[in-house]
Structure 1
């Protein structure tokens, strides 16, 4: 058995620790978008693979038998590439996926299908918007110069594509009290969030509920069907049940 763990999330770090504790041979893969990624207890590689074909080549060259996709729920491209590459290479694949957030009593959410729709959902009148979507898709809000934006990012960007933006550099998890104080200090009237799920970034939604602030919630992108587990224990059980790769060098004695 040789495992490739596609990571970058809290779940991926938890998975890496479990693999290390069980002394399973594994490689942790970071996309390379964060300047100071979290240290891991297993060997790490950083950077892309060159699409599905490049990933399939990597799986073969490194005798990978199992792939765990623990990337962000909105990392649709790498997840789709993993499905294609694993099918091509005959490698077993599972997704370690956190369940999405669900609105509850007191929440004021408007669901939209993508980032462009989120930008269109903001009001015509000026608003103070907590734009909690990371930095990869900020360009969709570039023309909305009537609003003031608050961004919370892990790294300070070299340039921002949107006007009237203030950046807070911080790494979660965050608490309800922290996010409520942050939103009050900036007079936030709207929150835009991706439905990433999990507990580390949930506090902004709880703070929005407490303050009566509406949330524009971007639904998750579609990803090709693949086995999904929602816990470390579930993934560990899958590792012991899933068949080894049928197309890797490991099975051909290479």
Structure 2
């Protein structure tokens, strides 16, 4: 790695972040890539390049890290729902005077036959459930299950799918399925049938890895509660693909 290599810090944990690191490491010899992982997943898939695990201590801590490690560009490739981290990244980039890009996969779009119900938060999604079904396939991850743990939902049964085991508070009647995507359509169909699911709850994460559940729900006529993603902080440019993000890095630091 040349001493003059451009240092890019990628706030990762997503498939797009890993693919971006792969792209930059394989094709851009003049780029040094460090990926930061939050450490919430027990056995994450590590990207190529340098990797750090753990938090920064808020925006001031991240800004200090950017300065200390001579970071030339910051890419927020966290999950579309990691709103707090995205806000911290925007504030830290401004404090350290480092260019910031958000890498966000496009959200899902409803198709003919979908029975989608939009919600602005997990709490709002939970409030919709009693009128929609009794057996819930909850695919919002292990964080935020407290929103579905109130006595108003004690009559409902939940199938909770997550990568790692959830911690209390959790729904009163719950079965946990530990699994990691990508998921296939046949498997999602069977899951809905076997557990007699009559309503699905998901975040609008976008991407292909977990989209088959939406097709399976459409085929079965099952309503889907879709939690809307938070907006990217004001003024932060957005790339939709790892290739777009890599192009931004090259253009940002091209000679002249």
TM tier relative to shorter chain: over 0.9
Q: What's the offset of the Cα at 1:157?
A: 3.2
Q: How far apart are the structure 2 equivalents of 1:125 and 1:15?
A: 39
In the alignment, which residue of structure 1 is the partner of 2:166?
157
Q: Structure 2 regions of 5+ residues with no counterpart? A: 1-5
In the alignment, which residue of structure 2 is the partner of 1:137?
144
Give the alignment's Cα RMSD to 1 decimal.
Answer: 1.4
Q: What's the offset of the Cα at 1:156?
A: 2.2
Q: How far apart are the structure 2 equivalents of 1:59 and 1:11?
A: 22
Which structure exhibits the higher relative contact order, with contacts defined as CA atoms closer than 8 Å and separated by 6 or more residues?
1
- Contact in 1 for aligned 2:146/2:168 (Cα 8 Å): no
Structure 1 residues 73, 127: closer, same or farther in 2, change over 3 A? same
Aligned length in residues? 244
Deviations 1:61-115, CA, capped at 9 Å, x for gaps: 1111101111100000101111111011110111111001010101000111111
- Contact in 2 for aligned 1:29/1:45 (Cα 8 Å): yes
Deviations 1:208-254, CA, capped at 9 Å, x for gaps: 0011100011001133121111112211111122269xxxxxxxxxx
1:119 aligns with 2:126: yes
1:192 aligns with 2:186: no
- Contact in 2 for aligned 1:92/1:243 (Cα 8 Å): no
In the alignment, which residue of structure 2 is the partner of 1:237?
247
After TM superposition, the structure 1 stretch with the greater mean CA deviation from structure 2, 151-160 or 4-13, is 151-160
In the alignment, which residue of structure 2 is the partner of 1:180?
189
- Contact in 2 for aligned 1:126/1:146 (Cα 8 Å): no
After TM superposition, the structure 1 stretch with the greater mean CA deviation from structure 2, 50-59 or 233-242, is 233-242
Q: How far apart are the structure 1 equivalents of 2:114 and 2:144?
A: 25
Q: What's the offset of the Cα at 1:160?
A: 5.1
In the alignment, which residue of structure 2 is the partner of 1:249?
none
Q: How does the TM-score come out when normalised to structure 1?
A: 0.92
1:9 to 11, 14, 20: 14
